[in-house]
C-alpha cells in the first residue's frame, strides 16, 4: 500500500485502468473458451446426437414392424394344413416377405448408426465424449449380435413351416427374444 500512496493521482488512475483492462481480458478469454465449449456441445448435438437418435428411432420402428409381421406369419401358419389353404399361404408368404424386408431395413439403419459413433469417436474432443461414443458403439454392436441371432431363429422357423414340419395346430408358441427392449434402453440412456 505504501507504493500506491507514493504515486501521484495520475499514475494511480493509469495503474487502476491497466489492472481493469487486464481483468477484462481475462474475463473475455474465459468467456471465449466457454463459448467454444458450448459450440462443441452444440455441434455434437446437431451433427451426432440428432441423426443418431433419428436412426435409432427408425431401427426401433423396423424392429417393431418386423415383430408384428412375424406374429402375422405365425398366425397365418397356424391355418396352413395339408389341404393348403391358399389364402393362408398367401398371407403367410406376404407376412414372411414383409418380416424379411423389415429385417433388411433394420440392418441398413444399424450400419448407418454404427458409422456415426465410429466417426465421432475419431473426432472426439475430450475423454468424456470419447467414452460416451465408445459406449454407444458397444451397445450398437450388442444389438447387431442379438439381431442376427433373432434373424437366424426366425429363418429357421420359416424354413420349418415351409418344409411342413410346423403346420396347422402343431405350431407351438415360439419364444424369441426380440431386441426392442435393447433399443429402447439404448435410446433412453443416450
21-73 pLDDT per residue, tens? 999 999 999 999 999 888 887 887 778 888 989 999 999 999 999 999 998 88
CA atoms within 13 A on the CB side of 10: 0
CA atoms within 13 A on the CB side of 183: 24
| Residue 59 CB coordination number (10 Å) | 26
- Assess whether pLDDT exceeds 90 at residue 109: yes
Looking at the domain assignment, is residue 170 inside a domain? yes
Looking at the domain assignment, is residue 43 inside a domain? no
Domain limits for position 130: 52-189
Residues 6+ apart with CB under 8 A from 126: none
- List, for residues 119-171, the tens digit of each pLDDT value: 888 888 778 888 988 999 999 999 999 999 988 988 888 888 888 766 554 55
Task: Give me the mean pLDDT over the 112-121 stretch.
Answer: 90
Looking at the domain assignment, is residue 136 inside a domain? yes
Q: What is the pTM of this model?
A: 0.68
Looking at the domain assignment, is residue 140 inside a domain? yes
Looking at the domain assignment, is residue 122 inside a domain? yes
Amino acid at each position: 500500500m505504501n507504493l500506491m500512496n507514493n504515486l501521484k493521482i495520475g499514475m494511480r488512475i493509469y495503474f487502476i485502468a491497466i489492472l481493469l483492462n487486464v481483468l477484462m481480458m481475462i474475463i473475455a478469454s474465459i468467456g471465449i473458451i466457454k463459448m467454444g465449449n458450448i459450440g462443441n456441445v452444440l455441434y455434437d448435438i446437431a451433427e451426432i446426437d440428432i441423426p443418431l437418435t433419428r436412426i435409432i428411432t427408425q431401427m426401433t420402428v423396423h424392429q417393431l414392424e418386423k415383430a408384428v409381421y412375424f406374429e402375422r406369419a405365425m398366425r397365418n401358419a397356424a391355418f396352413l394344413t395339408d389341404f393348403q389353404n391358399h389364402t393362408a399361404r398367401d398371407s403367410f408368404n406376404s407376412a414372411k416377405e414383409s418380416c424379411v424386408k423389415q429385417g433388411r431395413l433394420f440392418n441398413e439403419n444399424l450400419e448407418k448408426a454404427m458409422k456415426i459413433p465410429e466417426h465421432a469417436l475419431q473426432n472426439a474432443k475430450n475423454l468424456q465424449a470419447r467414452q460416451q461414443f465408445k459406449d454407444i458403439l458397444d451397445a450398437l454392436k450388442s444389438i447387431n449380435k442379438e439381431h442376427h441371432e433373432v434373424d437366424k431363429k426366425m429363418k429357421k422357423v420359416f424354413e420349418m413351416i415351409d418344409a411342413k414340419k410346423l403346420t396347422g395346430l402343431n405350431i407351438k408358441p415360439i419364444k424369441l427374444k426380440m431386441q426392442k427392449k435393447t433399443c429402447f434402453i439404448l435410446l433412453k440412456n443416450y
